[in-house]
Amino acid sequence: MSARLNALEIPTVGKFVKYIASAGKVIHDSSLPVATQNMVTLRASQINGCGFCTDMHFKDAVAAGEDTVRLNLVAAWREATVFTEAERAALELTEAGTRIADAAGGVPDDVWENAAKHYDEEQLGALVSLVALINAFNRMNVIVQQPAGSYQPGQFA
């Protein structure tokens, strides 16, 4: 299987990816915990069916020292006992923000309020930005059918 196009070889797309990747660096360097960032990017990628991003974020999280049990349970976070209340709130916000078209009115107030109990405004801003960013990357990769499985941790660092 190969991608429909090599997006990075197309000048416009290459520039676009470079710019949004630099936005990712800003979020990565924020006060939002890296473990939370890893869970958020993995969960949104799972929801969106982005094999490439699911592969990448799982492998990068493992390389960063994340426990594979927790990563394997991200898709079933509601039933899992391995996440903090803050991580659960972030995952709930991620799901609501990723499935925004499924809910008239967007992200419910109770979901937002739960996240706001655990994160300050800076962290909430980073979390919202991260959900938007990973959804953009997921959509690009799904549209071009970017194959999954060959990603190496830190490949795009």
Q: Name which of 13-22, 71-80, 108-117 the model is least confident about.
A: 13-22
In a domain, 79, yes or no: yes
**Domain of 139?**
35-144
Domain membership of residue 133 (yes or no) is yes
Is the pLDDT reported for residue 102 higher than 90?
A: no
Chain centroid, CA 77 distance in Å: 15
Number of domains in the chain: 1
- For the stretch 128-149, pLDDT in tens is 999 999 999 999 999 999 999 9
Closest CA to 108 of 93, 121, 118: 93
Look at residue 53 and tell me whether its pLDDT is greater than 80.
Answer: yes
Residue 153 resides in a domain: no
Q: Among residues 127, 139, 129, 133, which one has the least CA distance to residue 52?
A: 139
In a domain, 28, yes or no: no
Q: Give Cα separations from 133 to 70, 110, 156 (angstroms).
A: 22, 23, 16
Q: Is residue 23 part of a domain?
A: no
Structural domain includes residue 81: yes
Express as a percent the part of the chain with pLDDT over 70: 100
Closest CA to 146 of 45, 39, 43: 45
pLDDT tens, residue by residue, 19-29 = 999 999 999 99
Residue 109 lies in a domain: yes
* pLDDT (0 to 100) of residue 82: 98
